[in-house]
Chains A and B, each alone.
Chain A
Amino acid sequence: MAALDKTPSGAARADNTEPILSVRDLRTQFFTSDGVVRAVDGVSFDLHRSETLCIVGESGCGKSVTALSILGLIPREIGRVVGGSIRFDGMELTKLDEGEMRRIRGNRISMIFQEPMSSLNPVYTVGFQIAETLRIHQGLSNKAAAERAIEMLALVRIADARRRAGEYPHQLSGGMRQRVMIAIALACNPQVLIADEPTTALDVTIQAQILELMVELKERLGTAIVLITHDLGVVAEVAERVIVMYAGRTAEEATVSELLDNPQHPYTRGLIGSIPRRSTPGARKTTRTRLQEIRGIVPSLREEIPGCAFAPRCSIATERCTSQRPPLETHGPRHSAACWETAPSSALTATSPRS
């Protein structure tokens, strides 16, 4: 909580408007019989109105836990937000009680999950489930809520919305269920929509439909989106700003073009290098090439990592990397990375491999 001014997050934004959501030095831990798991270990970011921010990382990097922490959905028996602040529209979310959180959740901050089937109730029609959100949060009458539910289904471009509203989740395809989830999430016109791997369970052609829909609705409704994904392809498609997470920490934060064209953190570079690329017609390689690998495996979050979490796998790591945790340093306008070796202040910048 004391870290409010220390962290240079927001990556030196160009605009000076007040962020709608501001996370500072968030730390979330789980308490297991084998010890404390530091799932989120000091993450900070700002989200502005009608902005799309992507959080990228591999499984276990803390991206989903970050989202659950914001919404106060960490199961109390096993984990807790142990430090930091989450400010939303002038409120400190970490200080709210469950009742106050419930009024915000699904109303002013909504969330959609990877598997739509498990978040929809199989015994109610989809129209009823959208209407229920409206009745609870907006106090609409049954009739008005039902009408608005049909409007929402039409908004997420479900054909024949009136008939579909009377159907049960199992009667819909995966892509349509995810549209319903989006309709539920946007029903109360939230200021922030958190989407946790919303297209991972879907096929590419359906994924393209859903991503296009999300971008379009964001522009129309002005909702700020936090999109959590492991897929840099999805990031390139929809993001404006990107946070790369590794082992519960922010590795790099930049605009999407900066990140993909000029990655600074060795982990980001490795991640981008390890994706098989579609070659451009004409420039086709005749023999198969090997991909760039990130050697080793992700560290256990049960032990305290004193230095850079990526150091054991990093090809340019030095002694300092294993002993001192690198701060998030500014690399340019709206670009920061937590790396000792590639930081502008480091003398080694010029000799760092790969540009």
Chain B
Amino acid sequence: MSAPGTPSPSADVVLEVKDLKKHFPIRKGLFSSVVGHVQAVDGVSFSIRRGEALCLVGESGCGKSTVARTIARLEEPTAGSIVLNGTDISALGEGEIRPYRRQMQMIFQDPYSSLNPRLTAGEIVSEPLTNFGLAMGSDLQARVASLFERVGLRADAMAKYPHEFSGGQRQRLGIARALAVSPQLILADEPLSALDVSVQAQVLNLLIDLQDELQLGYLFVSHDLAVVEHIGHRIAVMYLGRIVEIADNASLFDTPLHPYTEALLAAAPVPEVQRTKRERIILTGDVPSPSAPPSGCRFHTRCPYVRPECSRIDPPLVEVAPGHHVACLLRPGPSAGHAAP
């Protein structure tokens, strides 16, 4: 049985995540005893192929960034497997993981705080290369210069410090650093959300160009549906630590099946003149706390179509159309019963 959202398992799968969990302990009191867990990520499975962009969307606190950080092993996974190019890296120790970091690199949300203010731009971009002993001396300089040019920065900006760059240029530096070791997988954690609209377009174009040219796999974490629709080949919608729907771009945006996906699409404001009053579902209430998720379907407290059984039965992620998985009791779909692991 393949992971949900993998149309055909093939050799060019870069990343396969199965049943990934990340629970953060809540500690209290004098002896820091564990009084509960925040179930930030609670059983997430997906795979990414070469040249494919899988987008994780959801609201703040849904665990989408934690998924990326756990795959990058900046957080220790609680359970599940992370298979990178055929090797399960989920249980590797701190030292053992280092060589695998060449295969996956991360782009961070905040281009201001993710660059060390005391290093020059050239030093920042060359660090991954020296870490893996890939280049030295003049060769290093030449490679860094070509990376600068590749992301649209002038090579003579290498001697400048991060604060001398604008937000968009800093994010280009972050991208150059990620590309330095020629990874196959890029984990991009909200790479556009700290940028201005006109700069977002520049960076988004750069990311798309790079992917098409280098056949990179992207895990693209974002809260912005318009951006996701623009860059994503496949989209996974997360709610309270779970994937509630995963499908290819067209299926998800044309025929959203989960009520939460529907509500997200309806809530996103669109920069177009509204000639008719838009039909919109406005969800009531707030996202429940991930330390005490609701019983049954986690969305049932806010769902406009809620039924009594929703609070009892936890719906599995089911393939309802080829490549289109949804976790909702109301959508049995044609191939019901083909529950994903």
**A contacts B: CB pair < 8 Å:** yes
Residues of A within 8 A of B (CB): 58-59, 173-176, 203-209, 211-212, 230-237, 256-257, 260-261, 270-279, 281-282, 284, 288, 290-295, 297-298
A-B contacts, CB under 8 A, total: 131
Cβ-based interface call for B214 (8 A) = no
Q: B268 on the interface (CB 8 Å rule)?
A: yes
Bound CA span A154–B24, Å: 36
Which residues, 27 to 72 on B, are CB-close (under 8 Å) to A?
59-60
Contacts of B205 in A (CB 8 A): 290-291, 293
Given contacts A272-B271, A290-B205, contact A204 B59 (CB under 8 A): yes
Is A231 touching B253 in the complex (CB atoms < 8 A)?
A: no
B201 touches A235 (CB 8 A): no
Query: 5 nearest interchain CB pairs?
Result: A233-B269, A274-B201, A232-B271, A276-B230, A203-B59
| Residues A175 and B201 in contact, CB atoms below 8 Å apart | no
* Residue contact B271 to A236, C-beta cutoff 8 Å: yes
Contact between A58 and B273, CB atoms less than 8 A apart:
no
- Please, how many angstroms separate the alpha-carbon atoms of A70 and B123 in the complex? 45
Sample of 24 A–B contacts (CB below 8 Å)? A58-B197, A173-B286, A203-B223, A204-B223, A204-B225, A204-B268, A208-B280, A208-B283, A212-B282, A231-B197, A236-B272, A261-B273, A275-B271, A276-B201, A276-B229, A278-B229, A281-B253, A282-B254, A288-B208, A288-B230, A293-B201, A293-B205, A297-B166, A297-B169
Q: Give CA–CA (A271, B196) in the complex, Å.
A: 10
What secondary structure prevails in chain B residues at the interface with A? helix
> A233 — which chain B residues lie within 8 A by C-beta?
226, 268-271
B69 to chain A, nearest CB (A): 20
Q: How far is the CA of A207 from the CA of B229 in the complex (A)?
A: 20
Docked Cα-Cα span, A217 to B231, in Å, equals 37
Question: How would residues 266 to 301 of chain B score, 1 for a CB under 8 Å from any chain A CB and 0 otherwise?
Answer: 111111111000001011101100000000000000
Chain A residues with Cβ below 8 Å from B270 are: 233, 236, 278
A125 to chain B, nearest CB (A): 19
Q: Is B140 an interface residue (CB 8 A)?
A: no
B116 contacts the other chain (CB 8 A): no
Give A203 to B15 CA distance when docked, in angstroms.
29
CB pair A230–B197 under 8 Å, yes or no, is yes
| Chain A residues positioned under 8 Å from B272 (CB to CB) | 236, 260
Determine which of A59, A206, A273 lies in contact with B196 in the assembled complex, contact meaning CB atoms within 8 Å. Answer: A59
**Chain B residues near A232 (CB, 8 Å)?**
197, 271
Known: A204-B59, A290-B205, A293-B205. A236 touches B273 (CB 8 A): yes
Q: Is the pair A276, B273 in contact by a Cβ cutoff of 8 Å?
A: no
Is B168 interfacial (CB-CB < 8 Å)? yes
Besides the contacts A207-B267, A261-B273, A288-B230, what 13 more A-B pairs have beta carbons closer than 8 Å? A58-B196, A203-B223, A204-B225, A204-B264, A208-B266, A208-B283, A233-B270, A234-B269, A256-B273, A260-B273, A277-B226, A278-B253, A279-B229
